[in-house]
Structure 1
Amino acid sequence: MLHLILGGDRSIFDWVDWNGFVPQDDYLNNFPSVGANGLFFYLITENIDNSLDTTKWIVRTSDPNKGSPGAITAIVTKSEASRAVIVGGFKAYDAKNMVLVTLKGPDSSSKGANQATAPKANLPVDIEIIGETKQGITLSYSFRITRWFINRGEYTDSHQEQNDWCNNLGDYKLASLRELSNANFLLHQGKYGNNPDNYYKRAVHGGLITEWGGLAYYQGDNFYNPTYGWTSDISNSTGSPIYINMNDAALNGDRDDQHPYYALCSSK
């Protein structure tokens, strides 16, 4: 059985052992549905040795322009079991039963420059990861990426400056709150979905942070750890921009737009 060491809804998320997302019958409901350059997850096959020493892994994508700057793909590398424990504290597995899958795709030409650019992401794209073991077992996992994100590294700024930075990338904009979170924001936006709380409920198709979890776990991939980030939405009650907690996707709108917060840009 395949598991993903990240992870929603009881029907797709292993709440018992906190193992992360579980593969679905329809690959369109598999994790992840959104991504960014450098985000990673662990692909686990219980009781099957899938390590690079015993298994040949290949990655196929539906993108006919695989060599273009906007191409999105994944790479499979040797797992780091200790790293899996850090990422959310999930159940530890033997390293021979897990491989590390890292998304690769468009990123900005610079994080600090106001005139940074980024290639338009080739979306949507289907990605299939296939492994052939020495025992003749074929392993396959597929998912579709429908939205792509670019972060601004360690740079924080006012709402207007971050909005402008995202727009200047070309085919990106400051992400909306629903592109990031499925938290219920009663005070500022009204009831949303079936999540009663103002923090994420892990789910596929629920937004970047809802799917991937706290972005502090990805600091090595230009996802630094400022607590808050701006969204493109405005609070109904305060008239101020809504900002998001970058680690539990909680939403708020009680600050003026000059606070120096993080930026996540989403594909248009």
Structure 2
Amino acid sequence: MHYYIRHQSPSTRHWQTYVLNLPNNPIRRVFTRTSFISSKLSLKLLSKLSRKVSLALVLLLLSYSWSLQALPANNRRAGNRSDAIILPPSPLEVIKFVRPVIKYGADGYAGPADIWNPHYGFLVQSTNPASYGLNFPTTGADGLYFDLIIMGEARDLRWESPIRGKGITVTVARRPIFNSDGDVEYRVTLNGQHARAHINNPHPRRIDNEIELPQTFELVGKNRSGEEIVRYGFVLQKWYVNRGRKFDTFQNQLSWCSSLGYRMVQVKDLTNSACRGSGSGPHCRGAISATPHSTGNHYQRRIGAGFSAEWGDTGIYTRAGFENHFYWTSDAAGGDYQFTVFMGGGYIGNHNALPNNTNYYGLCTTP
């Protein structure tokens, strides 16, 4: 059985692949159990393992293999049988991270370590099609993107792209860069319904009948021989349409969303901020946000816990049309006030919604 081992030279930073042929069952059992490295290991640990352990492990195993072969024939098991199950070698190509914008993703903004890495984004939560809904993203909007960071010989993958759903298209393209560990990155871009042609129209036409949710997307990367190398799936539950840079009153933004056949967002559609700890006060009291809750009045990077908690600072996605500012929500804050959410970090505020008083940005969602 052949095993392929990748090693990066510290001097040249180039990756080299070594082929190891393990001829007997005992040594194959040892090697297969040690060859798998979970995609959830930290990047630093993975780097250290790949450089310092792989070659030493090969030499150790070869030494053990030679010792086994030197034993007298009458000391070996008949037919070289083994009572253990021999596991197949693990794939060399692994999706390590799924990275949206990571700004506002460290310290208090960071999600749990098994979900979020402050430097590289979300971790893959499921490779089972039945539970793709656990993966990022669950929300989408036209012009948003994320990067698949893949370990292994993945520079020439070919993707079934674009994938055209009902009202949503997903495309995959290779990024012309490598990170410091030699990993390959592929950018995944979402395109779908938007209302840029109707930003200044107070009564745009309905567009909600052009989209179907939820929608499942499966990205399959193949080598030049057509063999599947990596696969990633996700389920979009909600789709968002913004009004660009149009500042307007609460009532006008509410009416604009309704004309599209959408609804104005609620606080829980945007953030999992909690009215406690840092940034809390009367301005956020009573707001109902997504769960699991953050530790303060700011989002925490989680999957399925609100649009900004998934995508981060949406103002960085320049082609998506979002602003790093307050957006109206349909949640009443008492009296003449409505709750608002600052998209840069998921901060919850409230502002006077009376006509001719306060203007903020508009954001709609469906369903």
Using the size of structure 2 for normalisation, the TM-score is 0.61
Q: What does the per-residue CA deviation read over 1:168-197, in whole Å, with 9 as the maximum and x for residues that have no partner?
A: 102x01100100100013532168644221
Where does structure 2 lack aligned partners over 5 or more consecutive residues?
1-93, 103-110, 277-281
- Report the AA paired with residue 4 of structure 1: V
Larger Rg: 2
- In 1, the alpha carbon distance for the partners of 2:342 and 2:296 equals 14
Q: 2:112 aligns with which of 6, 9, 31?
A: 9
Where does structure 1 lack aligned partners over 5 or more consecutive residues?
83-91
- Report the AA paired with residue 150 of structure 1: V
Q: 1:19 aligns with which of 120, 130, 141?
A: 120
Q: What residue is the counterpart of 1:205 in the other structure?
A: 304
- Report the AA paired with residue 159 of structure 1: F
**1:78, distance to aligned residue in structure 2 (A):** 3.2
1:42-121 correspondence to structure 2 within 5 Å: 42-50=147-155, 54-59=156-161, 66=165, 70-79=166-175, 81=177, 92=179, 97-108=184-195, 109-117=197-205, 118-120=207-209, 121=211
CA RMSD of aligned residues (A): 2.5
What is the aligned-residue identity percentage?
Answer: 26
- In 2, the alpha carbon distance for the partners of 1:93 and 1:259 equals 47
Q: Which has the higher contact order (CA 8 A, sep 6+)?
A: 1
Distance change >3 Å, CA 161–CA 81, structure 1 → 2? farther
Q: What residue is the counterpart of 1:34 in the other structure?
A: 139
Contact 1:73/1:127 (8 A) holds in 2:
no
Q: 1:243 aligns with which of 340, 346, 349?
A: 340
Q: What does the per-residue CA deviation read over 1:22-47, in whole Å, with 9 as the maximum and x for residues that have no partner?
A: 11123211000010111111111023
Contact 2:293/2:300 (8 A) holds in 1:
no
- In 2, the alpha carbon distance for the partners of 1:139 and 1:127 equals 14
Larger % of helix: which? 2
Aligned residue pairs, count: 245
Distance change >3 Å, CA 81–CA 161, structure 1 → 2? farther
Distance change >3 Å, CA 60–CA 212, structure 1 → 2? same
**1:107, distance to aligned residue in structure 2 (A):** 1.6
- Report the AA paired with residue 129 of structure 1: L
Distance change >3 Å, CA 217–CA 95, structure 1 → 2? farther
**Higher mean C-alpha deviation, range 150-159 or range 92-101:** 92-101
1:79-228 correspondence to structure 2 within 5 Å: 79=175, 81=177, 92=179, 97-108=184-195, 109-117=197-205, 118-120=207-209, 121-134=211-224, 136=227, 138-170=229-261, 172-185=262-275, 187=282, 188-189=285-286, 193-223=292-322, 225-228=323-326
Using the size of structure 1 for normalisation, the TM-score is 0.82
**Higher mean C-alpha deviation, range 136-145 or range 36-45:** 136-145
**1:222, distance to aligned residue in structure 2 (A):** 1.8
